């Protein structure tokens, strides 16, 4: 895959990251080091720091600065991973095309369309690539310590939030860090920026937090009903996928919340995804909401910090080649899995029994 990106023989060992700083440690450093196998990384805070004839890893949140630049972009090479895949493609496609002399390649994080040339799952993740503190430029000492020595940062955070963390000290837990409900305030974004239909917005409203009781009682039936509707079947594949993932997450984690061994951290004050040293914490991996790539921030963090303690409950991430038959088969397996979990009446079973019962494997 890198040959397709690098046909101009630009050196992938040295990359420039152009993104908002809050995403640098949680997303783009891991992507550069473990996916692109970069050895030298420079974080650019403004357009003037970009260099010609270098790979520039561009986050879409910096696209406005590229659009406003007054220089010839012809000698700059931009690599743009679409973290939200087709959602981002729909949102930014015209803007990409309208930038004069914009030399770029898009990396998609789903493989639903046959004409996609660059798919993140084709990259070979290499966790043995060694990069030291001195190889990262553009970050201050505190930011480097947070990335390279996360234990120090986590210990300080635990001291400040001990009452939140103490539940993990003495009992083995299975944890999911992330959203499990659809938020009403995101509807305008889906409609205005990603062109979602009113049908989809209406169906996602079932997953509001204040509808938890109905999700528990009727969630699977509502899920099955939506899947059978003609309007759903006519939706673009990325819109279908987004609905499926939201229903799956919300139903699954609301059921799991009944079990003693499970905890959900929707807005964690402690970054448990990058927490290596407490053996009582096990993590869950699911597909990202808008895509099916395994090369994402959650997957890389779990492989890095939870070796043999991160369990795969994804639908589409593993060995998925898209076709209508495969798509429907994975959904049918998912529905069956949800029914089986709902059918467990003993919520005091231990984690090992649960994992063995459903043959759940690590990522």
Question: DSSP per residue over 303-350, as a string?
Answer: HHH-TTTEEE--SSSSS----HHHHHHHHHHHHHHHHHHHT---TT--
Q: In whole angstroms, give the CA distance from residue 24 to residue 214.
A: 39
Sheet containing 173-177: order of strands = 262-265, 173-177, 281-285, 310-312
Sheet containing 40-44: order of strands = 104-107, 77-81, 55-58, 14-18, 40-44, 136-137
Question: Which residues have CB under 8 Å from 203's CB, separation 6+?
Answer: 226, 232, 243
User: Both tokens of residue 76?
Assistant: 């700059």
Q: Is the pTM of this model over 0.75?
A: yes
Do 281 and 75 form a contact (C-beta atoms < 8 A)?
no
Q: In whole angstroms, give the CA distance from residue 264 to residue 115.
A: 38
**pLDDT in the model for residue 10:** 53
End-to-end Cα distance, the chain: 23
**pLDDT in the model for residue 111:** 83
**pLDDT in the model for residue 156:** 81
CA-CA distances (angstroms) from residue 323 to 208, 316, 327? 31, 12, 6
Ranges of the chain with pLDDT below 70: 1-11, 268-270
Question: Which residues have CB under 8 Å from 163's CB, separation 6+?
Answer: none
* Alpha-carbon radius of gyration of the chain: 21
**pLDDT in the model for residue 243:** 98
Q: In whole angstroms, give the CA distance from residue 206 to residue 172.
A: 32
Which residue, among 338, 95, 136, 347, has the nearest Cα to 223 in the 3D structure? 338
Identify the three-state secondary structure at position 240: helix
Q: How buried is 144 (Cβ within 10 angstroms: 0-12 exposed, 13-18 middle, 19+ buried)?
A: middle
Do 334 and 327 form a contact (C-beta atoms < 8 A)?
no
Dihedral (C-alpha) 319, 321, 326, 331: value to the nearest 10 degrees?
60
Do 252 and 338 form a contact (C-beta atoms < 8 A)?
yes
Count of other CB atoms within 10 angstroms of residue 153: 18
Buried-state track 13-51, b at ≥16 Cβ within 10 A, e below 16: ebbbbbbeeeebbbbbbbbbbbbbbbbbbbbbeeeeebe
Which residue, among 184, 119, 183, has the nearest Cα to 322 in the 3D structure? 119
């Amino acid at each position: 895959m890198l040959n397709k990106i690098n046909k101009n023989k630009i050196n992938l060992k040295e990359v420039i990251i152009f993104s908002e700083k809050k995403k640098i440690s949680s997303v783009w450093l891991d992507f550069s080091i473990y996916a692109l196998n970069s050895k030298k990384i420079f974080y650019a805070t403004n357009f003037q720091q970009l260099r010609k004839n270098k790979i520039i890893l561009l986050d879409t949140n910096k696209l406005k600065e590229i659009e406003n630049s007054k220089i010839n972009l012809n000698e700059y090479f931009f690599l743009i991973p679409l973290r939200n895949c087709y959602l981002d493609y729909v949102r930014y496609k015209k803007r990409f095309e309208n930038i004069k002399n914009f030399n770029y390649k898009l990396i998609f994080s789903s493989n639903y369309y046959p004409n996609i040339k660059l798919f993140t799952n084709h990259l070979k993740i290499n966790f043995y690539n060694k990069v030291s503190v001195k190889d990262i430029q553009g970050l201050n000492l505190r930011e480097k310590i947070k990335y390279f020595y996360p234990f120090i940062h986590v210990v300080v955070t635990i001291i400040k939030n001990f009452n939140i963390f103490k539940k993990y000290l003495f009992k083995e837990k299975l944890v999911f860090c992330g959203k499990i409900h659809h938020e009403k305030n995101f509807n305008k974004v889906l409609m205005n920026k990603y062109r979602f239909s009113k049908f989809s917005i209406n169906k996602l409203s079932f997953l509001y937090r204040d509808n938890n009781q109905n999700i528990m009682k009727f969630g699977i039936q509502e899920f099955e009903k939506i899947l059978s509707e003609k309007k759903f079947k006519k939706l673009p594949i990325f819109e279908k996928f987004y609905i499926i993932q939201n229903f799956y997450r919300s139903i699954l984690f609301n059921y799991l919340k009944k079990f003693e061994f499970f905890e959900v951290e929707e807005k964690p004050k402690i970054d448990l995804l990058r927490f290596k040293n407490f053996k009582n914490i096990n993590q869950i991996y699911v597909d990202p909401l808008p895509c099916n790539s395994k090369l994402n921030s959650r997957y890389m963090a779990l492989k890095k910090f939870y070796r043999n303690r991160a369990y795969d409950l994804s639908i589409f991430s593993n060995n998925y080649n898209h076709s209508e038959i495969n798509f429907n088969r994975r959904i049918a397996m998912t529905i069956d899995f949800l029914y089986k979990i709902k059918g467990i009446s003993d919520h005091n079973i231990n984690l090992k029994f649960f994992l063995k019962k459903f043959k759940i494997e690590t990522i």
